[in-house]
Amino acid sequence: MKSVLTNTTESGEKADAEYLKFLECQKELTACSQSSLYFLQKYGKIRDKLKGIIPWEPWPHLVKLLRLFKEYRFIIILKSKQIGATWTAAGDNLHLALFHEGANILTLSKGEAEATESLDYSRFIHSFLPDFLRLPVGKDQSSLLSFPSMHSKIRALPSTKDAGVGFGGATRVVMDEFEYHEYARENLSEILPPILAGGQLIIQSTADNFKLDTLFKELYTAARRGDNNFYPIFFPYDVVPGRDLEWYENLSKTGLRDSEIKSRFPKTEQEALETLKTRRFFDPGIISQMY
């Protein structure tokens, strides 16, 4: 009789523990569905070239970025290199696909390798989620990641001449490193019509100071003047913790030219957008004096 009572008690305790675990998972599921910041901060894992697999870090500029993703339909980001923006966008894309039924997300990158990598970021984060968050994957290809239970998908394509053709009903389009897209104007003209129906367009890139007039610079400067619908934001080199003045001054010792440093790790918007003196038709200093 004693062993029967013991077994019954143990079974009851196990059932209670499982029920409490179930309730906790449901609580976490709700919290994650309501906030991509909570989702990434609690469960996001990223791949760092030096540190290996590490938790996604809620640096202030990335927290701000996630907030802007929720507040604006049209966003254009001028940024320094390696500030975590691509990983954060990939995490937010995944969050959208997991919790927004029917989400249709497209990422356009400079080339095929970059497109594959951007989608791999979302796939990587998904692979490290706990069981109660990780959904069964449907099509899992180099250019497509789908979740049949939510009827959602994330597609990644290179910026070819036909990229975006026939892509209708977009929930979100992310155009990554847009400055370097060979067919930037063609792609934007194909992407905009379905976006105008209610989707979101996020453009982010560093600027290339070897190029005079690009669509990215045109859109960003127009946004700063309030001449288009984009919300502009600039992230300088020092938004990443540890990038102080000493770090910046050491860049010149890596072999990078001064022009390359200013282009890839700008301090100001003006520095990011200015072109090399050898490529200019007019001296900006003289023009400023004339004004």
Q: Given pLDDT bands bounded at 50, 70 and 90, which one contains residue 149?
A: very high
Query: Is a pLDDT exceeding 80 seen at residue 224?
Result: yes
Structure tokens at 78: 């001028």
Dump pLDDT digits (tens) for 88-100: 999 999 999 999 9
The torsion defined by the Cα of 43, 62, 175 and 86, in degrees rounded to 10, comes to -50
Predicted pLDDT of residue 137: 95
Dump pLDDT digits (tens) for 69-115: 999 999 999 999 999 999 999 999 999 999 999 999 999 998 888 88
Predicted pLDDT of residue 167: 63
- Report yes or no: 221 and 269 within 8 Å, Cβ to Cβ: no
Predicted pLDDT of residue 280: 46
Task: Give the C-alpha distances (Å, rounded to integers) separating 30 from 38, 66, 98, 128, 195.
Answer: 11, 18, 12, 19, 28
Query: Is a pLDDT exceeding 50 seen at residue 11?
Result: yes
Q: How far apart are alpha carbons 60 and 57 in whole angstroms?
A: 9
Dump pLDDT digits (tens) for 250-267: 998 888 888 888 889 999
The mean pLDDT value for 162-174 works out to: 78
